[in-house]
Structure 1
Amino acid sequence: MTPRLVATDLDGTLLHSDGTVAPRTRAVLAELEERGVPVVYVTGRPVRWMETLWETVGDHGLAICSNGAVVYDVAAHRIRDVRAIPHETVLEVARELRRELPGTSYALEKTDGFGLEPTYRRRQDRTVLEVPVAPLEDLLDGTVVKLLAQAEDVDPEKYWRQVEALVGDRLTVTWSSTWALVELSAFDVTKASTLALVCEELGVAAEDVVAFGDMPNDLALLKWAGTSYAMANAHPLVLEIADHVAPTNDDDGVASVLTDLFEL
């Protein structure tokens, strides 16, 4: 059966390693738009990291950002829905992780910006040159969509598992970095749970969705979708659970699969 909706991660999946969208991919996305097939971008990126991409990945429909915490109306350029973390939960979890995993430092992703602690090492940020730097308690204003916890000189996957065990069901813990940085969202907020809400609105069942991903923060998404593809460059856990394997992101793997599925 031809899918009725496409859900794709961006970094390491739809985008080349340099963050660009290949001409072949742009052409495939444009043809799907002409056919009326929704393409939902389901990413860990915050909205502020998306502004330079809309022109090349599609300036219509909806995007799910911050690992499911934000649904963004692309055409209107506004946040439509937010699944926020209560401030008291942020503080409770942060204090426990700091106690049990010494050296942990934090940053906050909010609907109106980004802030970090003085000890938080900024490895990348595509849009914000100047951000508030202060203790976590002083950054905690506005609507929080992600708590980022980071540690230096520890094994990334081990750190992810440790944080997950300590947090339990208070927050949802995901990992998509090559260093010890984990992203914490509100309980039961994942790419999959938010996409399920969007698909319910659109009248699209899970079995009619094809999904693409490459990192552990895509696991829930790939398990939920009726048809799932791990990129050939994906993390071993992703390759293990996906139904199929697509060519690498740098080989335009998503475009290649969609061309075959939709007989473009």
Structure 2
Amino acid sequence: MSRPKLVATDLDGTLLDADGNVSDGTRAVLRELDAQGVPVVFVTGRPIRWMESLWSEVGGHGLAVCSNGGIVYDVDAQQVRSAATVSREVAMVVADLLRSEIPGTHFALEKTTGFARETGFATRFPDIPDIPTGSFEAIYDDAVVKVLALHTELAPEDYWRRGQALLEGMVEVTWSSSFPLLEMSAPGVTKASTLAELCAELAIDAADVVAFGDMPNDVEMLEWAGQSYAMAGGHAVARAAAREIAPAHTEDGVAQVLRRLFDL
């Protein structure tokens, strides 16, 4: 198996441990790859605001793909390099369809400028101050990179399957949470599409990329990369998409594989 030229890794359930941190063992591997000049790209569904504590793990430089491919972030400059936004026209049609076909749906928005939520959208972080809140139509603007839809009663996978079937071709619909939350990006925008564009700029072929993931939002990336690993215990669709299975994230599975691939 050839030595990869770039490492692309999801975070939650993949690179991070059970507490959502980078373990000492994984940190040591990332720093050695950095010293060898091997790019490590975080490719995550997380918004930028959930990344601040992790930038140092990629040496405080390089690029990260956030919001399921919606944003390429320049870590060194601490700024958005590019964004793939969801048009207002499409989003309004999507919202109307989900409200009518799956009643009980409420919305929030991930933007290049932060987070906003519809009045009925519950959040896991109710104490965050100054979150713009209002009607979907009022909070929407041209900075939206991901539309979030929450349902409080349906099972997560059932909600995802129904939303995916309903909105096929209009937006990219995926899911990466333990609760019923749809993540919707602009048509054609996935972790894989943005990673492919980034690798093209770096003159790195898909065959020379190793990718790691664990959930449905990682599927396209795992299929695209020349070497790919789903985490043991990850979602079945991710395991089916990957070429190999890595040890669980609770066992530093990514680090274990990288030590072998790079003879660390």
| TM-score class normalised by the smaller sequence | over 0.9
CA RMSD of aligned residues (A): 1.3
SS at match of 2:85: coil
Partner of 1:118: 119
The aligned length equals 263
Superposed structure 1 runs of 4+ greater than 6 Å apart: none
Partner of 1:216: 216
Partner of 1:106: 107
User: d(CA) in 2 for partners of 1:202 and 1:209?
Assistant: 12
SS at match of 1:115: strand
Given residue 21 of structure 1, which amino acid in structure 2 is its aligned partner? V
User: d(CA) in 2 for partners of 1:76 and 1:129?
Assistant: 26
Residue 98 of structure 2 is aligned to residue 97 of structure 1: yes
Map 1:72-151 to 2 at 5 A: 72-124=73-125, 128-151=128-151
Partner of 1:32: 33
| TM-score normalised per structure 2 | 0.97
Partner of 1:227: 227
Given residue 229 of structure 2, which amino acid in structure 1 is its aligned partner? Y
Native 8 Å contact 1:172 1:188 kept in 2: yes
Partner of 1:259: 259
User: d(CA) in 2 for partners of 1:217 and 1:72?
Assistant: 19
Post-superposition shift, 1:250?
1.3
Post-superposition shift, 1:141?
2.3
Native 8 Å contact 1:5 1:38 kept in 2: yes
Post-superposition shift, 1:69?
0.4
SS at match of 1:250: helix
User: d(CA) in 1 for partners of 2:128 and 2:51?
Assistant: 12
Partner of 2:201: 201
Structure 2: gaps of 5 or more residues: none
Native 8 Å contact 2:70 2:190 kept in 1: yes
| TM-score normalised per structure 1 | 0.97
Native 8 Å contact 2:41 2:63 kept in 1: yes
Map 1:147-226 to 2 at 5 A: 147-226=147-226
Partner of 2:4: 3
SS at match of 1:131: coil
Residue 64 of structure 2 is aligned to residue 63 of structure 1: yes
Partner of 1:12: 13
SS at match of 1:52: helix
Given residue 263 of structure 1, which amino acid in structure 2 is its aligned partner? D
Post-superposition shift, 1:253?
0.6
Native 8 Å contact 1:21 1:57 kept in 2: no
SS at match of 2:134: coil
SS at match of 1:228: strand
User: d(CA) in 2 for partners of 1:195 and 1:238?
Assistant: 17
SS at match of 1:192: helix
